[in-house]
Structure 1
Amino acid sequence: MSGQVQPTCLWGNLASFAADMRKMINAPEFSDVKFIVGKERKVVYAHRCILAHRCEAFSTMFAQQPLSRDAKGADIPFVVSDVQPDVFLAVIEFLYTNSVMLSSKMALEVLTSAVEYGLDDLQKSIVKTQGFHELSDPAMLVILQSDMLTIDEPDLINFVREWAHVNSVVLDKSVPEIAKEVVRELRLFLLTPDELTALEVENKKDNLIPVDKIAEVWKFHALKKSSGIAVHLLRRRKGTRPRDHHKYLNLYHK
């Protein structure tokens, strides 16, 4: 209708809002959900409404386990044993404030949790952080050697590519030179033929992964045999999505 007045969006002080929200992180007062986190069994307090509306994974978690109490009337906490308390709190901080302070030591661990909880914005933010890009070759190698990463291999390859490109600019070296040692720990054998084809197309742009490494994977797919391949490169990580060809891996590789 002509002449209709359109509503105007007014913004308050976003920094002040984030600061107020940050005060609610792990605050027992008015919280309605409790987590027992990590081997340390650290207690973390939160608010169901915020977590559920900001993260589908938490929404599903709460739906599967509605608010319940023990015989003494105390709320039954959620146990999150496979993540460090500081990493879990970093995820909570992002959900409350849409921002998070990270050290280089925590960058990939938080990235792992961001993938696990389906937090795309946090994933994209982390790979752009100085902390992630400052990871040294040895640190990246240790990370990639872990079976506990809750990241599927194509996503991990993309993260490594981003890391290599940034360090290529900073150190004035080629991408293949930067990533020479690191790419050896990428578990390319976990990829399907279609994923491997897509990887080859992307690889032509920067030669991140040596051609002979990709050729080894094609050989594996052709022969359906894993003999002669380093055992750890055939193991699924915690976050590896199952694929049909994984049945050709030896049982102890699963």
Structure 2
Amino acid sequence: MSGQVQPTCLWGNLASFAADMRKMINAPEFSDVKFIVGKERKVVYAHRCILAHRCEAFSTMFAQQPLSRDAKGADIPFVVSDVQPDVFLAVIEFLYTNSVMLSSKMALEVLTSAVEYGLDDLQKAAVTYRQTDMKDKCLTFIQSHTKSIVKTQGFHELSDPAMLVILQSDMLTIDEPDLINFVREWAHVNSVVLDKSVPEIAKEVVRELRLFLLTPDELTALEVENKKDNLIPVDKIAEVWKFHALKKSSGIAVHLLRRRKGTRPRDHHKYLNLYHK
């Protein structure tokens, strides 16, 4: 309509707003949900409407357990035992204010929680914080806890570049057949999410799998499994059979012949360029 006045967006003081919201963090007054956090069993107070609208994970949590009270009429708290209180409070702070103060000691733990709660912006903030240092710390953590990390949702959600960095490490504390199985799971999850074939998803990543560490029996089992999804190119498997036949490693990339820290020794490894003996 001619002459119609367009609405104008007015902004208040955003810093003041964030400061006021920060006052609500862990404030018992007017709170309607309580958490028991960490081994210390620290009590943390919050507001359902804020957490539910800011985080899908909390929304699901509250939907599964509506407001309930014990025999004395007190609200039943949510128990969050697998995270440190200061890390949980950092997540809460971000949800309330869209910002968070991070120390170098807790940046990695906050990143882990951000992945668990599906908070993309917080993940970016945690990674950006001393990014180089974070990359090294994350890799060191993964190397020390490989068997646990590969079972997590966060591992399944890794990008191709991140997966490549991990697979290039000699220090992973896991046996190669187990690592291959978890990489296969990663490829299948991403195949569904990205609507691409498993071979297309894993094209670059499988080059870093150390197939030469496998025994002939393990390689045979791998071939059977591989027929289901073509995760690994046939020519790559053929190279390994050739190695077993000739007992020679010439022409093979050196790092693919090295055992990782968690690799279980096998008889044929005496023909390889070993790293961890």
TM-score tier, shorter chain, comes to 0.5 to 0.7
Of residues 121-130 and 64-73 in structure 1, the stretch that sits farther from structure 2 once superposed is 121-130
User: How far off its partner does 1:51 sit?
Assistant: 0.4
Is the 1:133–1:167 contact (alpha carbons within 8 Å) kept by the matching residues of 2? yes
1:38-77 matches, within 5 Å, as 38-77=38-77
Q: CA RMSD in A?
A: 13.0
User: How far off its partner does 1:216 sit?
Assistant: 11
User: How far off its partner does 1:3 sit?
Assistant: 2.2
| Runs of 4+ with >2 A deviation | 125-254
Q: Which structure would you say has the larger RCO, counting Cα contacts within 8 Å and 6 or more residues apart? A: 1
Is the 1:104–1:135 contact (alpha carbons within 8 Å) kept by the matching residues of 2? no
Change (3 A) 1:251 1:138: closer
Change (3 A) 1:230 1:69: farther
User: How far off its partner does 1:168 sit?
Assistant: 32
Change (3 A) 1:202 1:43: farther
Is the 1:22–1:97 contact (alpha carbons within 8 Å) kept by the matching residues of 2? yes
User: How far off its partner does 1:239 sit?
Assistant: 20
User: How far off its partner does 1:108 sit?
Assistant: 1.1
Of residues 37-46 and 197-206 in structure 1, the stretch that sits farther from structure 2 once superposed is 197-206
Is the 2:212–2:256 contact (alpha carbons within 8 Å) kept by the matching residues of 1? yes
Change (3 A) 1:44 1:9: same
Classify the secondary structure of the residue corresponding to 2:79.
strand
User: How far off its partner does 1:6 sit?
Assistant: 1.1
Change (3 A) 1:251 1:145: closer
Change (3 A) 1:64 1:161: closer
Is the 2:93–2:100 contact (alpha carbons within 8 Å) kept by the matching residues of 1? yes
Of residues 98-107 and 214-223 in structure 1, the stretch that sits farther from structure 2 once superposed is 214-223
Q: How far, CA to CA, are the matches of 2:95 and 2:215 in structure 1?
A: 34
Q: How far, CA to CA, are the matches of 2:165 and 2:150 in structure 1?
A: 18
Change (3 A) 1:18 1:162: farther
User: How far off its partner does 1:116 sit?
Assistant: 0.6
Is the 1:107–1:132 contact (alpha carbons within 8 Å) kept by the matching residues of 2? no
Is the 1:153–1:240 contact (alpha carbons within 8 Å) kept by the matching residues of 2? yes
Of residues 224-233 and 41-50 in structure 1, the stretch that sits farther from structure 2 once superposed is 224-233
Q: How far, CA to CA, are the matches of 1:62 and 1:173 in structure 2?
A: 34
User: How far off its partner does 1:182 sit?
Assistant: 17
User: How far off its partner does 1:5 sit?
Assistant: 1.3
Q: How far, CA to CA, are the matches of 2:105 and 2:240 in structure 1?
A: 32
Aligned length in residues: 254
Deviations 1:74-111 (A, max 9, x none): 00000001100000000000000100000111111101
Change (3 A) 1:189 1:109: farther
Is the 2:115–2:154 contact (alpha carbons within 8 Å) kept by the matching residues of 1? no
Unaligned regions of 5+ residues in structure 2, if any?
A: 125-147
Q: Name which of 222, 244, 254 aligns with 2:245.
A: 222
Q: How far, CA to CA, are the matches of 1:32 and 1:156 in structure 2?
A: 44
TM-score, normalised to structure 1, is 0.53
User: How far off its partner does 1:213 sit?
Assistant: 13
Computing the radius of gyration from Cα coordinates, the structure with the larger value is 2
TM-score, normalised to structure 2, is 0.49
Is the 2:116–2:154 contact (alpha carbons within 8 Å) kept by the matching residues of 1? no
Change (3 A) 1:128 1:66: closer
Is the 2:22–2:93 contact (alpha carbons within 8 Å) kept by the matching residues of 1? yes
1:96 equivalenced with 2:119 (yes/no):
no
User: How far off its partner does 1:234 sit?
Assistant: 17
User: How far off its partner does 1:119 sit?
Assistant: 0.6
Of residues 223-232 and 170-179 in structure 1, the stretch that sits farther from structure 2 once superposed is 170-179
Change (3 A) 1:183 1:38: farther
Change (3 A) 1:10 1:236: farther
1:193 aligned residue: 216
Change (3 A) 1:108 1:144: farther
Change (3 A) 1:153 1:214: same
Is the 2:215–2:266 contact (alpha carbons within 8 Å) kept by the matching residues of 1? yes
Deviations 1:130-160 (A, max 9, x none): 9999999999999999999999999999999
Change (3 A) 1:176 1:248: same
Is the 2:114–2:120 contact (alpha carbons within 8 Å) kept by the matching residues of 1? yes
